[in-house]
Structure 1
Amino acid sequence: MNIGDKVRLLHGKEEGVITRLSSGGQVEIEIEDGFRIPALKSEVVVIDAAEKEYFNRGEEGEKESYIQPVRKTDPSSKTAGIFLAYVPYNDQIHDLILINHTKKQYLFSVEELSGNQAKNIDAGVIQPQSFRKITEKMLQDFEQWPAMKFMLLPLNKKFEPQEQATERKVKFKANNFFKHKGKAPVIDKEGFLFQLNDHEKALNVKKLNEELNPAGKESYPHLQVKRPPASIDLHIEKLSSEHDLMSNSEMLQLQMEVFQRNLNDALASGMDEITFIHGIGNGVLRKEIHRFLSQLNGIKYFKDSQKTNFGYGATTVKIHE
């Protein structure tokens, strides 16, 4: 008998999943309506292999911790994706649940991070339209919750277009976390909900091209490029509302994409100069911008802007005299 086993009480009608094993021969069972009840091991029985197969446990009864069966929801809807949900068990304890609201299986790994070290807390395969409890968190310890890293890899059962693996680093801030309250798909419960595989929406290249070349107009980009503002703020919170779910590399990639797009528009629209506000921080973004500019032939020069003008780090690019 292990955590994640589907069990039934011998002297009752309740069925549920073992969520905790205690000393003294006791177990804790979470029944279908979300309540948890204690029971003696001698009073419960593991559901047989046929029932395990029905509940997507596999023919060998592999130990997939707290994976639930398919729920009748639409994985093709606009809410489809891989979600992280913090669902309250009581006033203090929240269950941390990974939700697969798609048509595909995903191989996943979850790690807790501490500085440059990492500890794996769960890994496995999550089925389409199912969910998996990862761990529990105490709300009163919110400020001490460690950062986590999620690796998600879609599994193709036939030849079909490849999808890239997703790597997301999650470190919540209170002023953002508590704004994400809503009903989680598949489990249909209220909680704090975050989508893990939506970062590609931060910069929609196809949409940008459509804006530059609207349908029904001839494609002359040099006539239709929109002149950017004289200064562009590259602080990540200005570029994405989901920045707290992005890894450092994802944030830097988005900032550089916005920088390059606006620099190209400035060049194409004949601007004399443009300033990019990158802040001081650890200097990584400034270094990448300067490295890119140093290899570009279409500008006169670039320089650090006076702090008196912006109050924080910025780079001005001189295009024409």
Structure 2
Amino acid sequence: MNIGDKVRLLRGTEEGVIIRVINENTYEIEIEDGFSFPVLKSEVVLVSKTEAEHFKRDSSAQQSSSGQKTFVKETQAVAEKGIYLGFEPKGDIFTVWMINNTDYELVFKIDELMKGTTLGLHAGHLEAKSSQAIASKSSQNFDNWSDMQFTCMYFQKGIYKSKPMLSRVVSFKAAAFMHKKGTIPMTSKEGYVYQLDDNPAKINADEIKNSMLSAKAAPAPKTDQKPGSHEVDLHMEKLTGQKEEVPTSQALSYQLAVFEKELDSAIAAGRDEITFIHGVGNGVLREEIHKRLSKMKNILYFQDAQKQRFGYGATLIKLKD
């Protein structure tokens, strides 16, 4: 395959043109609406000129002899809900999908709400029962993503039940985001999913922040701890109960959210001390925890905990009375 070749995604219905060869295994393709994104060589297939001409003729044959398209009157909508936002992880990049699983056509726009201004990200049209890749987002600095506003208008040809315009603002926080993993509707891709037309409370920014604060850490191990002490294991498999590998930036944000929640709970409960088991790894989590502890007023001191048990993989925090 070469630059300029037309290709189709094997796991979707999108077609595009190769605009750049990133490396021997990866191409950058541009789809019809001008959006471009990287794909693996193994995930695309070349569209032959013969096939393209065949479908072009079929499309022309559906027009009337007068040259005008013939529209079939559609029935009233059956599926009135089912608008989703999907994030498909690909290394350190998320491919963002807009999914319309309703019987309405959608005219939509997506804005990023920045301080004092609005950045337009995408606008377009989405057929009923269809999906579309609309953007790419870096997983770096996840918790610093700006809020995104989604505005949709519903439409059907012929007589249909009118619906008010949908407008939602979504905030992204790791602790809430991690619990939304599943299959992205209509794409068969694994990722993280928000339903935009569900109960607004489920995606309201304040509610998402509250869900972050209520994220539950794994129960502390049953050890012979003295009264007033507590252990929290910050390894991702302990916190989520899943063994799937999570992108480093997402894991760090989630672990730090649990760390702060558990530390606040220990202070509020009047504990004498608390131990966080963070592991050795590359030392980033340990360093970030120590940096935050050094700025807190309720901390008497902190140190590496029981090196015979944890090595340098845990931190003991003594709390002020």
Smaller-chain TM-score bracket: 0.3 to 0.5
Per the normalisation by structure 1, the TM-score is 0.46
What TM-score, normalized by structure 2, do the two folds share? 0.46
